[in-house]
Amino acid sequence: MLGNFTYSNPTKIYFGENALDGLYSELPKYGKNVLLVYGGGSIKKNGIYDNVVSILKECGKEIYEDAGVMPNPTVEKLYEGCERAKKGNVDLILAVGGGSVCDYAKAVSVSVHCKEDPWDKYYLRMEDVDNEIIPVGCVLTMVGTGSEMNGGSVITNPTQKLKIGHVFGDNVFPKFSILNPVYTFTLPKYQMTAGFFDIMSHILEQYFSGEDDNTSDYLMEGLLKSLIHSSLIAIDNPKDYEARSNIMWIASWALNTLVAKGKSTDWEVHMIGQSVGAYTDATHGMTLAAVSLPYYRFIMPYGLAKFKRYAVNVWNVDPSGKSDEQVAAEGLEKMEAYMRKIGLVMNISDLGVTEDMIEGIADGTFIMTGGYKVLTHDDVVQILKASMKNNIS
C-alpha cells in the first residue's frame, strides 16, 4: 500500500550534449555575483571551466571562485566557502563537478547566513533551515550521488571522525542542473565504477525496505536492470554515449525522492559506508561496495521474500526446484559476480581499515530503523569484520 505522501521536485534539468546552453536561460534570473565552486582542477584540463566562465562573463556576472572541494568535503572547507560567499555577497552558487561539489555547494548555501555553527545545527542536531538560502545551480561532471536533483548534503568532520548527511527540503534543491553525458567521459575508471555502485546502492536501500509490491518497487527494478546493462557497456567503452547518458539519467531518478514514495527506506549501508569514509577518506561508492554484501547477507533472512523477488526480477534467477533461501542467495551471488566484473572494492581492508578501527567505525555508524532489521552495535561490528576478512559468501 502506498499510503499518503506529498511529492515535489523543483529542480529544472537541462540534459544532452547542448545542455550547457541552459545557463543562458537560468543565469539572468539571479543577481550579478556568482560563486563558482569546483574541485581539484580537472574541469580546467578538459575545457569545461573555460566554457562555463565564458558564459558567465557573457551574462555579465562577477565571478568569485571557490576551488579545491575535496571528494569528501570537510567542515573546515565549508567554513572557508561561507567566508568566500560572504565576501562576494553572492547571489548564486554554481557547482561544477561531481556529487561532492554539489553537496558542498548546498551546504554553503544554507550556512552562509546561519547564525550559529552550521555543523552543530545541521549535521549534529539535524535542524531545518530557518535563515536565508543562497540558490544553487549544478553543472554535473560525474554521476552517482543524485545530488543534482535532491536536497542531500554530506559533510565530513575529520577531527570528530564523523561523516554525516543532511537531507534538506526542496527549498535547498538545486534550482537547475546541467547534465551533459559527454562531461563524464574523461572520469578515471575507478571513480566511474564507484559512481555506478553509488547509484545501485541508492536504489537498493529504498527497494529493501517498507511495504513491498508497490509502484516504487517496479520502478526500481527497471532502473536496476537498466543500470546493470549500461554499466557493463560503459566498462568496456567509457565513451559510449548511449550507455553513459542512460546511467546519468538513472542516477538522477535513483535519488530525486520519487522512488522513495511508499517506502520507509533503509540507508544502513550508507551509514556504515560513511563511517568507514570518516576514518579512511576512501571513495564513497567504494565504501558502499565493500560493506553491501555483508550487510545484505546479514539481513536477508528478515526480508527473504523481497530478496527472492530481487533475485528473480533483477538477476533472472530461475526459482524452479529451489527454496526461497537458495533463490535469494543466488541473487546475491550474481550481484557479487557483477560487482567483481566491473572492478569494485569488495572489502574494507583494501580501503585502509585496520582491526583497531572497527569499534570506532561501529560507534560512528548511525542506526536506521527503516530496513528489515534494526541493527545493534554488535551487528555492525560483525558486518564490518565480515567485510574486512572478505568473508562475504
Of the CA atoms within 13 Å of residue 97, those in its CB half-sphere come to 28
- Whether residues 174 and 91 share a domain: the answer is yes
pLDDT range class, residue 10, cuts 50, 70, 90: very high
In this prediction, residue 126 carries a pLDDT of 96
Average pLDDT of the chain is 96
Q: What is the pLDDT of residues 242-266, one digit of tens each?
A: 999 999 999 999 999 999 998 999 9
Domain boundary among 152, 184, 216: 184
Phi, psi of 376 (to 5 degrees): -100, 170
203 and 313 fall within a common domain: yes
Question: Is residue 3 situated within a structural domain?
Answer: no
Compute the distance between CA of residue 200 and CA of residue 259 in angstroms, rounded to an integer.
13
Q: Any idea how long the chain is?
A: 393
Cα separations (Å) of 181 from 156, 185, 189, 241? 28, 7, 15, 7
Please tell me whether residues 102 and 150 are part of one structural domain.
Answer: yes
In a domain, 250, yes or no: yes
Q: What is the CATH number of the domain that holds 17?
A: 3.40.50.1970
Does residue 4 lie within any of the structural domains? Answer: no
Q: 362 pLDDT band (50/70/90 cuts)?
A: very high
Q: Is residue 7 part of a domain?
A: no
Q: What is the extent of the structural domain holding 195?
A: 190-388
pLDDT tens digits along 79-133? 999 999 999 999 999 999 999 999 999 999 999 999 999 999 999 999 999 999 9
Do 180 and 295 sit in the same domain of this protein? no
Residue 87 and residue 19 share a domain: yes
Total domains in the fold of the chain: 2
CATH code (residue 369): 1.20.1090.10
Q: Which of 135, 151, 184 is the last residue of a domain?
A: 184
> What is the spatial distance between Cα 46 and Cα 43, in angstroms, rounded to a whole number?
5
Cell of 390: 572478505
How many helices (H) and strands (E) the chain has is answered by: 15, 8
Query: Could you tell me if residue 199 is inside a domain?
Result: yes
Of the residues 137, 153, 184, the one at which a domain ends: 184
Burial of 192 (0-12, 13-18, 19+ CB in 10 A): buried
139-171 residue pLDDT tens: 999 999 999 999 999 999 999 999 999 999 999
230 with 330, same domain: the answer is yes
Whether residue 318 is found in the same domain as residue 235 = yes
pTM: 0.95
Asked whether residue 390 carries a pLDDT value surpassing 80, the answer given is no
